A and B are shown apart, each in its own frame.
Chain A
Amino acid sequence: MHKQTWIGALMVVALAGTAPAAAQSNGDGPRTSWGDPDLTGVWDFRTLTPIERPDGLGDKAVLTAEEAAAFEQQALQQWDADRRDGSDLEYGQGSDIERAYNDFWWDYGSSIDEDRRTSLIVDPPDGKIPWTPEGKARPGTFDLAFSGIITAGPEDRALSERCILGFNSGPPVESSAYNNNLQMFQTPDTVVIFNEMIHDARIVPLDGRPQLDDGIRQWMGVSRGRWEGDTLVVETTNSGLERQPAPDRAVHADQRGSAALRVHGQRSHDVHPPVDRADADEALRREPVRVRLPRGQLRHVQPAVRRACRGEGSGRGGIEIASGRPARAPARSGG
């Protein structure tokens, strides 16, 4: 700590005149006063784009503008919990009482991703989670929790219902029903990802320290981060999510896998090259999964506890998530 502080002091001298909370950009986005890409702020990740590509779209990765508008209208109609008509929804029985929250509470957003993608998953190209038969059969599917299975006790319910782990807070981060907000906080050797959902904070050291022993399991796993160019890469292992019902989490890192979160600091909406594939967990997935979330920025001074004000801030960054064992070779530059 003291050595780093001393080195930091030299950097401050060299960059005399730079404001402590510098938003000085070198053309690739704002930077912190110590030179890292500046990811600080409150971000929202709401979107109507589904995690997986809907059936029937095959390899169609992007919608036309007309198709996107139609999809958004259909999604908003489908999710409209204020309706009082009878419906053929799986869980809606015709009365808004049985539809849980009404639209005042939902915060899926009102549009799909700016790229008009058909899924948040960008790899595999079919936009689907590459389940193995064994992985698909594991408890924790949507149907198990919502189709009237009798539960014997609180441990049969989802972690999010028990307020243990947020259903969108990760790792990895996934858009969901509400509270799709997080605040990022940086120091020279740490990044903190504070999720509004169940007020969970992940403290991600950047100093290259090793992961914890494989025998130590934590609900949010253990995260370690590093910079690859302007991309923050967060690798998380040691997850304690094995055998837990997680019906609303389509993608999560289990005890045998890991999630590499790649946060792109650029304000532009670049398309990033795929990460190198690594050996997959044969028992659960055939291959790693890449998910790309759109990310807007809330008002700079707005705390994560309040509902986002969509459309504020300049530009959008991107968060890309690769789930699977860590890549053995570094990703190509810029990814």
Chain B
Amino acid sequence: MANRIAGLAMALALVAPAAALAQDGAPRTPWGDPDLQGTWTNTTTTPLERPTDLAGKDVLSEEERAAIDEENAPGIDAAVGVGAYNNFWMERGYVYEQTSLVVDPPDGRLPRVLPKAKARQDALVASRRSSSYPTTYEEPSLMERCITRGVPGVMLPGNYNHNYNILQAPGYVAIFHEMIHDFRIIPLDGRPHIAPGIHQWMGDSRGYWDGDTLVVETSNFTDKLYERRGSLLVWGTGKHMTVVERFTRRGDVIDYRFTLTDPTTFERPFTASIPMVPLDEPMFEYACHEGNYAMANMLSGARDQEAAAQRTGSE
């Protein structure tokens, strides 16, 4: 943990939200590509969107960051009731200097969601808040079902296991994502994407070097992909969504950014910046399904609640 704090501090010192930094002396693979290899983490409590009370403020001072970290420290352990995991299981890290992961639009907020997608999002929210949720195993998120977090979901920090192992070979970059043991092999040889009619949970990635920056373009998503976050955002509709990721090594930090474009969901593309620092621990198997009684319990619990509501004649 102390190493992660040091690494995060280094990340905060090196990465400016919108600056391009010098890349001299970056390590190289034996065949000459920039070396991004290693195990990395991007755990942080910085929210995806800038809080409304920080409107217009894109960076925090050291004092402000310290205050936020202190406020976040008690976490789940301070909650009343059974709740979910306690802090032993959480790995949220600390807050970045930037006030949001979204760096474009400049207000740090996601672009306006277009009406049709908004209706879909509202339906998801309504279903989650319904007293009969879940009625079927297909209603919980793909992550809860241990299927995938998709792209770029798998690169977003959250509660735990946001660790990555980047491997490189001539003509390829591979990324092993600890959650949910998803593995992407990204060819760099300029081959075309798979046919438009083929849709994959993790999409289909192709990469190339732009100077010392690895650019990964991903398309061919399934339209079943969405990310369960506080507002149950809908990332995209699959065939209309493309994600462009950029990995640039700056010392011992990877400046990672992605730009998501879906003209049927968002009125404009948006970009998030999530620095990655070295992980000084091994990555372990994230089996997900092992001991995953939650789905069965959620379904049976909801049926019990329905039955109880019927008995009392109220909802």
**Contact status A20-B170, CB under 8 Å:** yes
Q: Of A185, A218, A220, A301, which one neighbours B174 at CB under 8 angstroms?
A: A185
Interface string of B91-128 (1 = CB under 8 A from A): 00000000000000000000000000000000000000
**Contact status A194-B170, CB under 8 Å:** no
**Contact status A33-B30, CB under 8 Å:** yes
Enumerate chain B residues within 8 angstroms of A177, measured Cβ to Cβ: none
Closest beta carbon of chain A to B184's beta carbon, Å: 9
Q: With A9-B30, A12-B32, A212-B282 given, is the CB distance from A164 to B171 under 8 Å?
A: no
Q: Which 10 A-B pairs have the closest CB atoms?
A: A8-B30, A20-B31, A201-B183, A21-B170, A218-B285, A20-B170, A12-B30, A5-B27, A21-B171, A164-B289
Give 11 new A-B contacts, CB below 8 A, not counting A33-B30, A185-B169.
A1-B38, A5-B29, A12-B32, A185-B167, A187-B169, A192-B174, A192-B183, A199-B183, A201-B174, A203-B167, A301-B191
Q: Of A11, A33, A164, A301, which one neighbours B287 at CB under 8 angstroms?
A: A164
Q: How far is the CA of A188 from the CA of B287 in the complex (A)?
A: 28
Q: Which residues of A contact B (CB under 8 A)?
A: 1-2, 5, 8-9, 11-12, 20-22, 32-34, 40, 153-154, 162-164, 183, 185-188, 190, 192, 194, 199-201, 203, 212, 216, 218-220, 240, 301, 303, 305
Residue of B nearest to A201 (CB): B183
**Contact status A194-B185, CB under 8 Å:** yes
**Contact status B176-A9, CB under 8 Å:** no
Residue of B nearest to A19 (CB): B170
Enumerate chain B residues within 8 angstroms of A219, measured Cβ to Cβ: 285, 287, 290
Closest beta carbon of chain A to B221's beta carbon, Å: 14
The tally of CB-CB contacts under 8 A between chains A and B is 87
Q: Is the interface of B mostly helix, strand, loop or mixed?
A: loop
Q: How far is the CA of A188 from the CA of B29 in the complex (A)?
A: 9
Residue of B nearest to A13 (CB): B30
**Contact status A5-B28, CB under 8 Å:** yes
**Contact status B183-A40, CB under 8 Å:** no
Q: With A21-B170, A212-B282, A303-B194 given, is the CB distance from A8 to B29 under 8 Å?
A: yes
**Contact status A203-B168, CB under 8 Å:** no
Q: With A8-B30, A33-B170 given, is the CB distance from A216 to B284 under 8 Å?
A: yes
Whether, in the assembled complex, B305 has its beta carbon less than 8 Å from a beta carbon of chain A, the answer is no
Whether, in the assembled complex, B172 has its beta carbon less than 8 Å from a beta carbon of chain A, the answer is yes
Q: How far is the CA of A153 from the CA of B28 in the complex (A)?
A: 51
**Contact status B167-A187, CB under 8 Å:** yes
Closest beta carbon of chain B to A237's beta carbon, Å: 14
Q: Of B172, B200, B289, which one neighbours A185 at CB under 8 angstroms?
A: B172
**Contact status A220-B285, CB under 8 Å:** yes
Whether, in the assembled complex, B181 has its beta carbon less than 8 Å from a beta carbon of chain A, the answer is yes
Whether, in the assembled complex, B218 has its beta carbon less than 8 Å from a beta carbon of chain A, the answer is no
Q: How far is the CA of A187 from the CA of B296 in the complex (A)?
A: 42
Enumerate chain A residues within 8 angstroms of B306, measured Cβ to Cβ: none
Sampled A-B contacts (17; CB under 8 Å): A8-B30, A20-B31, A21-B170, A33-B31, A34-B30, A153-B296, A162-B289, A164-B290, A183-B185, A185-B167, A186-B169, A187-B168, A194-B185, A218-B284, A219-B290, A301-B189, A305-B194
Q: With A20-B32, A187-B37 given, is the CB distance from A194 to B167 under 8 Å?
A: no
Enumerate chain B residues within 8 angstroms of A164, measured Cβ to Cβ: 287, 289-290
**Contact status A5-B30, CB under 8 Å:** yes
**Contact status B181-A200, CB under 8 Å:** yes
